[in-house]
Amino acid sequence: KWCSLKPLLQMGTRKVIGLWGGIGSGKTTVCSALEGQPFRVDVINADQLGHAAYAPGEAAVDEIAAAFGSEVRAEDGGINRRALGALVFGSEAKMKTLTDIVWPIIKQKARQRIDELKASPLQSDQGQLIILEAAVLLEASWDELVDEVWVTMVDEAIAKERIMKRNKLDEDAATKRLSSQMSNEERLAKLKELHSLPHVVIWTNRELSSVENDVLSLA
């Protein structure tokens, strides 16, 4: 289903986009391409919301410690993400236990932030685009928060090259990261479940300038 940014050129129009894609798929590139447009752009990064959920005093901290043991607690009373990651990585059952705790909390934080941004004043001639950037947007059912879904996709070989360079990983580590997420084929199949929700696929195999042109063509 086709998506368009044209309505954002209208005064006071607000739209929430769910930006969904795996590691190295170009989500940040898409966000960067929208900078400097004649409408306001606000980005909500789900990873950052997830990190905030591990902070001292957050509701998830006690639940996570109860599920995985006191060794995942950090000295400041929050969650040691490195220790937690080492414990759950490679175990589908443990990962599900973790996501069952954290995903609803992230969804609540995202909803609250979206509501805050929608309530913020706009310039008289300005529209607003709110982007919820999330690698697990559909898996976590966060698409309920958005008006449209944009999916970034890239060939696996290119994604591997990108994350090896960006995250300073060796090939084995990069391959494990990629194998722990949905394949392009699985993402396309998942998209078909959206039914009436508008969505578009943005391939980022090409040079940065070409990807930016593809994104801006939506306007």
Question: pTM value?
Answer: 0.86
- Mean pLDDT score across all residues of the chain: 87
List the domain boundaries for the chain.
6-216
Report the Cα 39 to chain-centroid distance in Å.
Answer: 21
Q: Is 145 left (phi over 0), alpha (psi -120 to 50) or beta?
A: alpha
Give the CATH class of 6-216.
Answer: alpha beta
Instruction: Give the bridge partners for 73, in sequence order.
Output: 79
Secondary structure class of 55 (helix, strand, coil): coil
Give me the pLDDT at residue 216, please: 67
At 38 the pLDDT is 77
| Residue numbers in the chain where pLDDT is lower than 50 | 1-2
* DSSP for 123-182, written as a single string: -TT--EEEEEEETTTTTTTGGGG-SEEEEEE--HHHHHHHHHHHTT--HHHHHHHHHTS-
